[in-house]
Amino acid sequence: MKNISGTERQFVICIDNSGYPASLELHKIYAVLPDERAAEDDFLRVVDESGEDYLYSAKRFVPVELPQKVKQSWVRRVRESTTKRAHFILISCVYTVRAWIAVP
């Protein structure tokens, strides 16, 4: 499965979450975003538990090749959770602006 840039989407499994137990779960599959500069320094740009992408040492992960159906399912899950999170943020911003406007 290719990402927007046309490159093959890469997945990894976390084998070391020391120092990041809230951000990385052991033995969980994570998507890796392309980042040539990070790769030069042996880092991966990983979409972690927060749903955001962060740089982590490549030593914390092992690359894995997933069957096409699993990739499609994973991408669909991420897309749905991102859409829900974006909707929540938008609603929060609207209420914040309304509260700010209503202040005398």
**Regarding predicted confidence, which is higher, 9 or 36?**
36
Model pTM?
0.65
Q: What is the DSSP letter of 6?
A: S
CATH code of the region 10-102: 2.30.30
Q: How many CB atoms lie within 10 A of CB 60?
A: 21
Buried b (16+ CB within 10 A) or exposed e, 14-52: beebeeeeeebeeeeebbbeeeeebeeeebbbbebeeee
Q: Sorting pLDDT into bands at 50, 70 and 90, what band is 60?
A: very high
* 56 CB-contact burial (10 Å; exposed 0-12 / middle 13-18 / buried 19+): buried
Of residues 8, 9, 15, 5, the one with CA closest to residue 61: 15
55 vs 101: CA distance, rounded Å: 38
Q: What is the DSSP letter of 53?
A: E
User: How large is the average pLDDT for residues 24-48?
Assistant: 92
